[in-house]
Structure 1
Amino acid sequence: MNISPPEVRKGRKYDQVLEGARSVFMIDGFEGASVDEIARVAAVSKATLYSYFPDKRLLFMEVANAECARQSQEAIDNIDMAAPPRLVLGQAGRHFLRFITSTFGQQIFRICVAESDRFPEIGQSFYKTGPAVMRAEMAEYFAGAEARGELHIEDRMLAADQFAELCKADVWARLMFGMSKSVSAAEIDRVVDGAVETFLARYGA
């Protein structure tokens, strides 16, 4: 039986707590971040922090949802719906791969997986705020590119999923299984450029 995670209470200092937590998590990561340090940076008491977030994992995922939504919006803002597929795919792929291979992105993924049995809502909420938004946006872009005769795609949502998976080739598995500690900009370029070429070989008009 699944246990619902505690309800997040929003109040006067909610944004203040969230911003303080984001600063600490970005520097120290989930394991390294202490509640004392988060409270200090947020300029609130521990009692106030706990009144909003009784569990550090809940706080981390709230920060993760907000950051994922911000990253998705940033990527969307940089997508020119009239630009050619090679340009848009390259931009979107690099943005996506930089985020998921960042320390913060990896921690989000690991916590979603670790807590998926007890708190499936955590992963579902994260997916809806980021991956699902970008998936829909890419599918919309594909529709416009098709209308211009630049792409030919029957299942746009599947194509968006396939492109995301192509962008994870090699580097994501190595990070998840501890074979690598980080991914260089050159590696990101190599993988994304390959993903774009493979995608266009399949779907280019």
Structure 2
Amino acid sequence: MAACIGAIKRGRKFDQVVEGARQVFLTDGFEGASVDDIARAARVSKATLYSYFPDKRRLFMEVAQRECRRQADAAIARTRMAGPASEVLCDAATAMTRFFLSDFGRQTYRIAVAESERFPEVGREFYESGPTLARNALTDYIRERIAAGELKIDDVDLAADQFIELCKASLHTKSILGIRTDFSDAEIERVIRGAVATFMARYGA
């Protein structure tokens, strides 16, 4: 393990290594991904891979941060759509809930939590790479709907956090703890509809 897990060497093959790792992690998960497979997918030697990432967990977190940014961009695009809050929030809730419950989302969350005590920068980078971006977009959208008279909220930051937590209701904890990792579309839709209905019942003007 490197003395400072946040210190990453960057070079001309850095992106190549990360993209190869992304392909393998998304297919095989963290535990199933081998360094040999990652090096092969990235078309680099193991020595080159290790020169950038001496630790597989740090490589996974680099991939996770990029994937979280992709997810955040998708959620941001949804909150910038025109339309009633209930419809836009439903789209945003769908993106968040399905990512929370995905294999990749679950593994990312577990590793970020596990490593953040020893390496706080890992947890901070994970939080800032996706969750913070999506949350900021959500608060911006909520403020727009308040100005439009559709929502009535005094504490926007709290309301945004509440909405995100509503999207985790019933299923997320079971998923993280491994009690269940497979959920039907009907179960997921139930959480999404409940999140939006509860939020609008509390904050709809």
TM-score (ref. length: structure 1):
0.96
Matched, 1:86 2:91: no
Cα displacement (A) at 1:68 = 0.2
Deviations 1:57-86, CA, capped at 9 Å, x for gaps: 010000000000111012212323532110
Q: Distance in 1 between matches of 2:186 and 2:62?
A: 32
Cα displacement (A) at 1:188 = 1.3
What is the RMSD of the two structures over their aligned residues, measured on CA atoms?
1.1
Cα displacement (A) at 1:183 = 2.0
Q: Distance in 2 between matches of 1:79 and 1:162?
A: 16
1:54 is matched with 54
Higher mean C-alpha displacement, 183-192 vs 97-106: 183-192
Q: Distance in 1 between matches of 2:177 and 2:41?
A: 33
Q: How does 1:164-175 map to 2 (within 5 A)?
A: 164-175=164-175
Deviations 1:97-141, CA, capped at 9 Å, x for gaps: 111110010001111111121111101101001111111111110
Identical residues among aligned pairs (%): 56
* 2:34 maps to amino acid: S
Cα displacement (A) at 1:190 = 0.6
Please say if residues 4 and 121 of structure 1, whose CA atoms lie closer than 8 Å, have aligned partners that are also in contact: no
Q: How does 1:90-169 map to 2 (within 5 A)?
A: 90-169=90-169
Cα displacement (A) at 1:176 = 2.0
Please say if residues 5 and 119 of structure 1, whose CA atoms lie closer than 8 Å, have aligned partners that are also in contact: yes
Q: Distance in 1 between matches of 2:126 and 2:177?
A: 22
Q: Distance in 1 between matches of 2:26 and 2:136?
A: 28
Unaligned runs of 5+ in 1: none
Please say if residues 146 and 152 of structure 1, whose CA atoms lie closer than 8 Å, have aligned partners that are also in contact: yes
Q: How does 1:19-98 map to 2 (within 5 A)?
A: 19-98=19-98
* 1:143 maps to amino acid: R
2:189 is matched with 189
* 2:166 maps to amino acid: L
Three-state SS of the structure 2 residue aligned to 1:78 is helix
TM-score (ref. length: structure 2):
0.96
Unaligned runs of 5+ in 2: none
Cα displacement (A) at 1:4 = 3.0
Q: Distance in 2 between matches of 1:41 and 1:142?
A: 42
Aligned length: 203
Q: Distance in 1 between matches of 2:176 and 2:75?
A: 24
